[in-house]
Chains A and B, each alone.
Chain A
Amino acid sequence: MTTEPVDELKPHPETSSLTGTPILEVEDLKMYFPVKSSGFLRRTIGHVQAVDGVSFQVRSGSSLGLVGESGCGKSTTGRLITRLYEPTAGRIEFDGRDIANLSERELHPLRRDIQMIFQDPYTSLNPRHTVGAIVGAPLAIHKVVPKDKILARVQELLEIVGLNPEHYNRYPHEFSGGQRQRIGIARALTLQPKLLVADEPVSALDVSIQAQVVNLLQDLQREFNIAFLFVAHDLAIVRHFCPEIAVMYLGKIVEIGDRETLYARPNHPYTQALLSAVPDVKQAKVGGRRERIRLEGDLPSPINPPSGCRFRTRCPIAQDICARVEPPLLQVGPTHKVACHFPGEVGKHPEKPITPRLLGVDDSGMPDLAAGPATDLPTGPGYSDTWFDLEHNTMGRA
């Protein structure tokens, strides 16, 4: 069953950057935090499904952005990748090796390759250590350079991140927020990591300083060919930094794709609402507020997420099927996947769900014996050459 690809689906020039070899591949990653009862025995009475089956790839020297509302599981995903947490389930393949269940000792050598930058430049640096000690600590721990060479390397690193190398003897409180974030970056760079997990690296910084740090990260990425998992809630910065972006909602990826497609032609109602909510400076020319998709209510609790599609309680176009069946993360373009029964651009969502035939249900989500068994849907990370053609409602091919 092959259809001619429609014009719109021709690979965009941008997508070429999504073809590098993946250095990190995450499949069906889950992190459930137990919730204890307040009763006497403190039994586990449920789980916070902080991350619930996410799959993605980060390509060598490239960046994947993770965006979404507060509490949707972005930081938890980042912490899983750096193995600050051990995942409840799933695979984390780094450089060809599954690190999801490695012991602390087995992880030790890998810690060099995966580093993390934290959000708060004020609390993430030990105030009692000098900058030199902070930046040099990983060198000493991993014994990569002889003791007498550490200082030279530290000064080199400080220089790289734009700090005065003479200042290695100062303490963090003697630096401004932006400079502290540079110290954090220098520390992360010490061991020349292949992958940097940056959890809101600029959110705590003043606007005028944010750009300095973003540019620095970009320069470093080019120079040292570092791959980034870039977690942030500022949609504009993520778009600026990452060629590929995943949108999360309540522990799941609802849409993932190259940035051009995702920002210009989002297909998931949540992505659309998110993007329409961003205030735009350009609006000044027109005056007044921009037309936007208003989302009602608050984020539901990740302890008892809604059945079916997790977004359905706030989705403006939800139908019966959304409460019954969870939409699969379906590839709908060369580098574009979306998890919705009614994917489409704003105002062009299909009348009928597109997924029933793939899932073996009818249009309202009830099991449909006549439809036959569900099609085997590719659910892994990355993109395949075949995808679901929204125009013709069939699986297509590039």
Chain B
Amino acid sequence: MFAYLVRRIIGGIVLLIVMSLVTFALFFASPVNPADFSCGKNCSPAQKKQTAAALGFDDNFFNQWADFGKGVFVGRDFPDDPKLRETAPETIAHCPAPCLGYSRERTANVTSLIKETLPVSVSLAILAFIIWIVGGVLFGVIAALRRGTIIDRGLVGISLVLYAFPTFFVGLLLYKFVAIKWGWVDIPRYETIADGGITGWASSLILPAITLAVFFMAAYVRMTRAYVIESLSEDYVRTARAKGLPARAVTFKHALRAALTPIVTMAGLDFAGLLGGAIITESVFNYPGLGKLAVQANRDYDLPTLVGLVLLLAAFVIIANIIVDVLYAVIDPRVRLS
């Protein structure tokens, strides 16, 4: 088990390195020259060159990548160009490790940009996750156990409708009605735990979290239902009934336990995906999370920020994968003991 974990972690690191190379290569090969972008419309070729040098884009691909790697572990100074540093020492910005790059557009280290925005996205993801897992699994199990009845059809029908609703639409509806028209909650504005306490934090997040959860919940109701129905028809559930176990024990101890395994896997990966920012929801509610940062960076062609975000998200997904696999081994003895 331990060896397995070590192997997975090393594999994850290798994967991250490869990911960073690929990300770099993709941006490198991009048709738009970021130097043009940053230098503005009326730029002479010489100015362009200078900008490129300032941004470090004139170096070759591998050197840039190596510089980036160095930054992650020991930090680095910007701009890269030694000539520029000499001529204009006042522009030097230090980017301490772990340095994910320096955004000229935002004149800030990518790391600190992420540090500011990450808590918002994480808070949102956690709250949404709780809502959708509890709701999705609960309603999914109910639908499966009441299979074929009105309840089942109702739950499945509602989840289908919700699933089809675009997220921005759900978000706008909640915003316009719940917050503005009916005034059930304050106009959503992000509050940290430090500022508003747990309740302030949670209530500031509740609308965007619900918005985000609706889609996932709808998907999880149907997924849970399918897995529970499948596991209810497993041979070992029949065995459990044949032993004379009460229906409750059959359902919860035997059928659900097996059905939840794939759900745990899915949930872990979905959660990791959300940590990287919920672009639409954050935009609708104007929350300063990673998603919003990504949108802005994309608009401004802020390559360092984009690279940093992509790699962060990749890291989340890779870590979640490892955690999910370990959980899997904990749940399923066949994985653990083979």
Q: Do A and B bind each other?
A: yes
Contacts of A40 in B (CB 8 A): 3, 6-7
Interface members, chain A 21-64 (any B CB < 8 Å): 38-40, 42
Shortest C-beta distance, A33 to chain B (Å), equals 15
Taken residue by residue from 86 to 113, chain B's Cβ proximity to chain A (1 for < 8 Å, 0 otherwise) reads as: 0000000000000000000000000000
Shortest C-beta distance, A40 to chain B (Å), equals 5
Across the interface, name the chain B residue whose C-beta is closest to A40: B3
Shortest C-beta distance, A46 to chain B (Å), equals 15
- Confirm or deny: B4 has a beta carbon within 8 angstroms of a beta carbon on chain A: yes
In the bound assembly, the distance between CA atoms of A123 and B56 in angstroms comes to 56
Shortest C-beta distance, B3 to chain A (Å), equals 5
Shortest C-beta distance, A175 to chain B (Å), equals 24
Contacts of B7 in A (CB 8 A): 40, 42
Contacts of A39 in B (CB 8 A): 3
Across the interface, name the chain B residue whose C-beta is closest to A39: B3
Shortest C-beta distance, A99 to chain B (Å), equals 35
Interface members, chain B 192-247 (any A CB < 8 Å): none
In the bound assembly, the distance between CA atoms of A357 and B4 in angstroms comes to 52
Contacts of B4 in A (CB 8 A): 38
In the bound assembly, the distance between CA atoms of A110 and B7 in angstroms comes to 42
Across the interface, name the chain A residue whose C-beta is closest to B10: A40
Shortest C-beta distance, B224 to chain A (Å), equals 27
Shortest C-beta distance, A39 to chain B (Å), equals 5
In the bound assembly, the distance between CA atoms of A39 and B5 in angstroms comes to 10
**Chain A residues with a Cβ closer than 8 Å to the other chain, count:** 4
Shortest C-beta distance, A148 to chain B (Å), equals 46
In the bound assembly, the distance between CA atoms of A40 and B3 in angstroms comes to 5
A-B Cβ contacts below 8 A, count: 7
In the bound assembly, the distance between CA atoms of A40 and B4 in angstroms comes to 6
Across the interface, name the chain B residue whose C-beta is closest to A38: B3
Contacts of B3 in A (CB 8 A): 38-40
Shortest C-beta distance, B9 to chain A (Å), equals 10
In the bound assembly, the distance between CA atoms of A280 and B159 in angstroms comes to 58
Across the interface, name the chain A residue whose C-beta is closest to B338: A38
Contacts of A42 in B (CB 8 A): 7
In the bound assembly, the distance between CA atoms of A42 and B7 in angstroms comes to 10
Taken residue by residue from 1 to 23, chain B's Cβ proximity to chain A (1 for < 8 Å, 0 otherwise) reads as: 00110110000000000000000
Shortest C-beta distance, B13 to chain A (Å), equals 14
In the bound assembly, the distance between CA atoms of A355 and B7 in angstroms comes to 51
In the bound assembly, the distance between CA atoms of A39 and B4 in angstroms comes to 7
In the bound assembly, the distance between CA atoms of A40 and B11 in angstroms comes to 11
Across the interface, name the chain A residue whose C-beta is closest to B5: A40
Contacts of A38 in B (CB 8 A): 3-4
Contacts of B6 in A (CB 8 A): 40
In the bound assembly, the distance between CA atoms of A38 and B4 in angstroms comes to 7
In the bound assembly, the distance between CA atoms of A42 and B4 in angstroms comes to 10
Shortest C-beta distance, B164 to chain A (Å), equals 28
In the bound assembly, the distance between CA atoms of A253 and B6 in angstroms comes to 43
Across the interface, name the chain B residue whose C-beta is closest to A37: B3
Shortest C-beta distance, A371 to chain B (Å), equals 47
In the bound assembly, the distance between CA atoms of A42 and B11 in angstroms comes to 13
In the bound assembly, the distance between CA atoms of A39 and B6 in angstroms comes to 9
In the bound assembly, the distance between CA atoms of A42 and B8 in angstroms comes to 12
Interface members, chain B 30-74 (any A CB < 8 Å): none
In the bound assembly, the distance between CA atoms of A232 and B260 in angstroms comes to 39
Shortest C-beta distance, A36 to chain B (Å), equals 11
Shortest C-beta distance, A103 to chain B (Å), equals 32
In the bound assembly, the distance between CA atoms of A395 and B6 in angstroms comes to 61
In the bound assembly, the distance between CA atoms of A40 and B6 in angstroms comes to 7
Taken residue by residue from 131 to 166, chain A's Cβ proximity to chain B (1 for < 8 Å, 0 otherwise) reads as: 000000000000000000000000000000000000
Across the interface, name the chain B residue whose C-beta is closest to A42: B7
Interface members, chain B 241-299 (any A CB < 8 Å): none
Shortest C-beta distance, A48 to chain B (Å), equals 14
In the bound assembly, the distance between CA atoms of A158 and B4 in angstroms comes to 51
Across the interface, name the chain A residue whose C-beta is closest to B2: A40
In the bound assembly, the distance between CA atoms of A146 and B254 in angstroms comes to 58
In the bound assembly, the distance between CA atoms of A39 and B7 in angstroms comes to 9
Shortest C-beta distance, A201 to chain B (Å), equals 27
In the bound assembly, the distance between CA atoms of A40 and B7 in angstroms comes to 6
Shortest C-beta distance, B15 to chain A (Å), equals 17
Shortest C-beta distance, B167 to chain A (Å), equals 34
In the bound assembly, the distance between CA atoms of A245 and B184 in angstroms comes to 82
Interface members, chain A 314-356 (any B CB < 8 Å): none
In the bound assembly, the distance between CA atoms of A39 and B10 in angstroms comes to 13
In the bound assembly, the distance between CA atoms of A42 and B3 in angstroms comes to 10
Shortest C-beta distance, A200 to chain B (Å), equals 22
Shortest C-beta distance, A44 to chain B (Å), equals 15
Shortest C-beta distance, A5 to chain B (Å), equals 54
In the bound assembly, the distance between CA atoms of A32 and B3 in angstroms comes to 25
In the bound assembly, the distance between CA atoms of A42 and B10 in angstroms comes to 14
Shortest C-beta distance, A301 to chain B (Å), equals 14
In the bound assembly, the distance between CA atoms of A225 and B7 in angstroms comes to 54
Across the interface, name the chain A residue whose C-beta is closest to B1: A38
Taken residue by residue from 234 to 251, chain A's Cβ proximity to chain B (1 for < 8 Å, 0 otherwise) reads as: 000000000000000000
Shortest C-beta distance, A390 to chain B (Å), equals 46
Shortest C-beta distance, B267 to chain A (Å), equals 27
Across the interface, name the chain A residue whose C-beta is closest to B4: A38
In the bound assembly, the distance between CA atoms of A38 and B3 in angstroms comes to 7
Shortest C-beta distance, A2 to chain B (Å), equals 57
Shortest C-beta distance, B326 to chain A (Å), equals 15
In the bound assembly, the distance between CA atoms of A42 and B6 in angstroms comes to 12
Interface members, chain A 5-24 (any B CB < 8 Å): none
Shortest C-beta distance, B71 to chain A (Å), equals 30
Shortest C-beta distance, B220 to chain A (Å), equals 29
Across the interface, name the chain A residue whose C-beta is closest to B7: A40
Shortest C-beta distance, B28 to chain A (Å), equals 35
In the bound assembly, the distance between CA atoms of A235 and B6 in angstroms comes to 49
In the bound assembly, the distance between CA atoms of A145 and B305 in angstroms comes to 61
Shortest C-beta distance, A106 to chain B (Å), equals 36
Shortest C-beta distance, B252 to chain A (Å), equals 33
Shortest C-beta distance, B162 to chain A (Å), equals 32
In the bound assembly, the distance between CA atoms of A39 and B3 in angstroms comes to 5
Residue among B3, B4, B6 facing the most chain A CB atoms (10 A cut-off): B3
Interface members, chain A 265-299 (any B CB < 8 Å): none
In the bound assembly, the distance between CA atoms of A38 and B336 in angstroms comes to 11
A-B contact pairs, 7 of them (CB 8 A): A38-B3, A38-B4, A39-B3, A40-B3, A40-B6, A40-B7, A42-B7
Closest 7 CB pairs of A and B: A40-B3, A39-B3, A40-B6, A40-B7, A38-B3, A38-B4, A42-B7
Spell out B's residues near A (CB within 8 Å).
3-4, 6-7
